[in-house]
Homo-oligomer: A and B are copies of this chain.
């Protein structure tokens, strides 16, 4: 039995945790359980317990850390930690108030399963994603099983490293698009599950290689695989996951799908090389930058949405519509990402504000500030981004310049504009729950603050 946790408000207003940590009689997780992932709506959490996980970087009280454990710590419900029964338990004996928290994924720490916890505020913000989550929930379970299955190898390092990233609490937005698009076009088969899994594998492979190329130390608040297993293993396991992605696609056996995905694979790599070539070049134009993110980010979003009508052998116009939806959603997503790197809440982002600045990455907020800036200001951008000479206070100055030239606002405006294109692309489809959920994803991407 896999880890499960659900919470609901009881009649008397107290919070009930429906928890099934492990089989009765077992007092620890089995390895195959500890790597199970799931989506849960709410989870209650004892702040004492949370604090044991938050001492390092407690930033806003109880949800200072986004990880908490369910094992080997005092039972928040006052019971015997070895006696969790697989039935609902009313939370009554807490020593301090129990806060309802929103857990969206599970990851592991050694063999300890950890929940990723976000605040209620953030839970409200992600409500835009909720209708999509509801629609894809069942299929995502199947996808999660396939992902675990296909990350297996006799070569120990492969599943270890792959799981590090797979279990790290990513939203799995891309495969969710594939599933929702399949439902939108009333696809009746099962191939979309494998195709969506391949989409996620291709994304994971890209992240592994990205972190090597960018020399990144953290991703989603955790050490990158390259910091633990090295660049070499990250490159090779990325190659393995890409190979597995194509294996799965071949199993599905749709040549149109294979065509879309192989085009995406080559285009993403092309975009990454473009970005590498443009690195530290403040003269990059907005158009050049758009070409880069079109290839490196939007191509996979676009493919993820387009594969479903292709698989379902739907008319060309439905395929183009979802292709355009995915592409513009991807552009919006990336631009918001760029804006958040200068304006976001680092605790929620899972990465620090200013990462792009410190890495000398050219993103739209920098491009706009540079173009709109004075000669002096351009000298500042050249010193920091091009020369990489960053002093104390430079990030704050960069953000101040962006504010002066409304660069973040302009970036968000652009994102909203691509979001509008994505929304219009869907217009040819009759109204449905799926269409509404895909529209809401646009709001999620544009309004998210993490």
Contact = CB atoms under 8 A, between A and B. Distances in A.
Interface string A389-408: 00000000000000000000
A247 interface: yes
Interface in A192-211: 209
A283 interface: no
Interface string A279-315: 0000000000000000000000000000000000000
Contacts of A377: none
A233 interface: yes
A213 interface: yes
B231 A243 contact: no
B262 A247 contact: yes
Interface string A220-237: 000000000001110111
A274 B236 CA distance: 10
A243 B259 contact: no
A412 interface: no
A246 interface: yes
A212 B232 contact: yes
Contact of A269 (B209, B243, B262): B243
Interface in A244-293: 244, 246-247, 249-250, 253, 255, 258-259, 261-263, 265-270, 272-274, 276-277
Interface stretch (A67-75, A153-161, A366-374): A153-161
Given A236-B273, A242-B242, A273-B240, A250 B262 contact: yes
Contacts of A213: 232, 235-236
| Number of chain A interface residues as a range | 35 or more
A273 B209 contact: no
Contacts of A139: none
A235 B231 CA distance: 10
Say what secondary structure dominates the interface of chain A.
helix
B262 A246 contact: yes
Given A209-B239, A212-B232, A266-B240, A157 B276 contact: yes
A272 B157 contact: no
B233 A276 contact: yes
Contacts of A157: 273, 276-277
A236 B270 CA distance: 8
21 contacts: A157-B273, A157-B276, A158-B270, A158-B273, A209-B236, A213-B236, A239-B268, A239-B272, A242-B242, A242-B269, A243-B265, A243-B269, A244-B266, A246-B246, A246-B258, A246-B262, A246-B265, A246-B266, A247-B266, A250-B258, A258-B258
Nearest to A295: B155
A22 to B, nearest CB: 31
A207 to B, nearest CB: 12
Contacts of A209: 235-236, 239
Nearest to A266: B243
A350 B181 CA distance: 52
A64 B262 CA distance: 43
A239 B268 CA distance: 9
